[in-house]
Structure 1
Amino acid sequence: MAEPRSGRQLRIAAHGYEADIASVGATLRALRFEGRDLVVPFDADEVRPGYRGATLAPWPNRIVDGRYSFGGVEHRLPLTEPERGQALHGLVAWSEFADRTVDQDRVVLATTIEPQTGYPFRVEVEVEYRLGADGLTQTVTGRNLGVDAAPWGTGPHPYLVAEPAPIADAAGGTGSAVPPVDGWTLLLPAAAVLTVTPDRLSPVALESVEAYPDWDFRTPRRIGATFIDHAFTALSQTGGSTTVELRAGERGVALTWDAACPWVQIHTADTPDDHATHRRGLAVEPMTCAPDAFNSGAGLVVLEPGAAHAVSWRIHAL
């Protein structure tokens, strides 16, 4: 039997949660709590839609023009977002990850970024998914296996679901004129937003959300028709952690992380030409660094030879 298009399939289950992990990109393909979807899923034998659920490393978000300087050397990366001329979401999203541990409630996968044009560093990327009573925790560890210091950043790319979306009809509609995201309530405890150019989404300036009321969700409110594809920072913490909540009535889903991720990208998944994906989930992407951090240095981790950097986040039902 041929292997599914998204790679080997690993299922873990515990405490009412069930997660499906695909080996290509160490991708979170599905996550359910008591049978309810918490992320937008996709089929095992499907080429993963974009970066849905993928692990992003050695950088999340964009490197403008695919160019950066590190250690006094200029580098140029492949433009993996050609329509915008950007290097998007790192180098492992389409890599095959090997199994290290496969248990009932935990899997560990790993791959190695080999030195290449634009990123001449050897870095191992290890990804752990673990289920507990508090939800699904993903931990990403970067280990520098090379002889030179390496720039590093990481983050996840789940599309959260507050409640299941209506099933698409034969004409491609959703059975409702209002996309699912529009009706959900968002809590985003961020005081600053990184504005971007409208055409390429290149960073412009860090500003207070008070100057952009449409993007101020420090008090929970309905998303409505608001378009969001921006990075936020100046995150409020409770007990050392930041939590983004997405609700439909009393139920919903949340993503929690600590100060190791001082940034979060939020995207309303606007694809008006594709009814099957348009605003059907909210991307919530904690990030260790800012967009274009390889140039700005904002949050950039420098992995010295032999050093490791680990960071975690947790998705849980409300």
Structure 2
Amino acid sequence: MTEHTTPRSGRQLRIVSGGYEAVIASIGATLRVLRHEGRDLVVPFEADEVRPAHRGATLAPWPNRIVDGRYAFGGVERQLPLTEPTRGHALHGLLSWAEFSDRVVEDDRVVLVAVIEPSLGYPFRVEVETEYRLDADGLEQTVTARNLGSDAAPWGTGPHPYLVAGPATPGDVSVDDADAGPVDAWTLTLPASEVLTVTEDRLSPVAVHGVEQHPEWDFREPRRIGDVFIDHAFTDLDRRDGVAEVRLVTDSGQGVAMTWDERCPWVQVHTADQPGQHAIHRLGLAVEPMTCPPDAFNSGVDLVTLAPGAEHAASWRIRAL
């Protein structure tokens, strides 16, 4: 008898359109693969692999970190599980390892849904629906929250793709440099005038500064990333017709772009540093549009309050250059 088992990353949902192919894994409603004409636009992983960290996951009901896992909402203090134990924070929400159910499955579109059930740390019932849709302009993801409970709920969301501009050409990155990776050779355009500084040890938020005070993180004009370490949230985004765009390209001009509207006033960018793990070190650039900054459950900055029965939606798009 042949034994059929579900891959470790969950059920696999493949969609195609306009020269694009995407594979969504049901655990975490994760973007596992995105290709255009056979070229990877995000760092992929195998279907029967436990997803590396949060690569491609849908983040809800908060993106990024809640410091110490503690917050107060509606005058009541709450304690969340510390899912980033090395830094002592609650990281990337409550659904990144949850199984999402199918709501719609079509050739070029899938809609997945999961419900956050009340818990001591987050005593709210919120339905989270995520739609992935492909067309000739790339992949659009929309995340919609619906408050199914009787109390207002704090809410935030964002994605976690690691973008890939293209393969490094010979000489771009020294194979003898253990601190280098493909990211070093790519040119980044990040239209953000402000950066949220963080503590070095725990990446806890400190203060918002103009990027002119931190020129290493000023990518308003395109430039190579080089050996710069980035794991920061950016805001005050320059937009065209309301849309912000991050571009990541190789020297040949091929690459990838990510766009989003005002519903995401923040973006986290991370150079995927994994010192000592050369095979994955700086392998892709995490670009995470966010509806709120890190630790918004405490600061209240751009935090969405979902009234009972209310909905909130945010979306973003990845396309080939």
- TM bucket normalised to smaller: over 0.9
Deviations 1:49-70 (A, max 9, x none): 0000000000000000100000
Q: In the alignment, does 2:282 pair up with 1:279?
A: yes
Is 1:237 the equivalent of 2:214? Answer: no
Does residue 199 in structure 1 map to residue 173 in structure 2?
no
Deviation at 1:174, TM superposition (A): 9.1
Determine which of 167, 180, 185 is the counterpart of 1:164: 167
Can you list the C-alpha shifts for 1:197-233, whole angstroms capped at 9, x where unaligned? 0000000000000000000000000000000000000
Q: C-alpha separation between the residues in 2 aligned to 1:174 and 1:30?
A: 27
Q: Specify whether residues 13 and 136 from structure 1 end up closer, same or farther in structure 2 by C-alpha distance, changes over 3 A only.
A: same
Please give the alpha-carbon distance, in whole angstroms, between the structure 1 residues aligned to 2:317 and 2:274.
27
Matching residue's letter, 1:205: A
- On the 8 A contact 1:142/1:308 being kept in 2, the answer is yes
Distance in 2, Cα, partners of 1:32 & 1:272: 27
CA offset digits 1:145-171 (Å, max 9, x no partner)? 0000000000000000000369xxxxx
1:16: how far off?
Answer: 0.3
Show the counterpart of 1:75.
Answer: 78
RMSD across aligned C-alpha pairs, in angstroms? Answer: 1.2
Runs of 4+ more than 3 Å apart: 173-178
What amino acid is the match of 2:219? F
Stretches of structure 2 that go unaligned for 5 or more consecutive residues are: none
Choose which of 30, 34, 37 in structure 1 pairs with 2:37: 34
Confirm or deny that 1:217 pairs with 2:213. no
The total of aligned residue pairs comes to 312
Letter in 2 for 1:27: T
78, 84, 87: which is aligned to 2:90? 87
Q: Work out whether 1:55 is the aligned partner of 2:62.
A: no
Q: CA deviation at 1:273?
A: 1.6
- 2:15 maps to what in 1? 12
> How far apart, in 2, do the equivalents of 1:29 and 1:256 lie?
19
Contact 2:104–2:110 (8 Å) recurs in 1:
yes
- Give per-residue Cα distances to partners, 1:258-303, cap 9 Å, x unaligned: 0100000000000012112100100000000010000001110000
Per the normalisation by structure 1, the TM-score is 0.96
Provide Cα deviations, 1:220-251, integer angstroms capped at 9, x if missing partner: 00000000000000000012100000000210
Task: Give the residue type in structure 2 aligned to 1:145.
Answer: L
Contact 1:37–1:164 at 8 Å: present in 2 too? no
**Correspondence 1:265 to 2:268:** yes
Map 1:91-170 to 2 at 5 A: 91-164=94-167
- The 8 Å contact of residues 9 and 51 in structure 2, kept in 1 or not, is answered as yes
Question: In the aligned structure 2, how far is the partner of 1:261 from the partner of 1:244?
Answer: 13
Compute the TM-score of the two structures, normalised by the length of structure 2: 0.96
Structure 1: 5+ residue runs without aligned partners? 167-172
State the secondary structure of the residue aligned to 2:97: coil
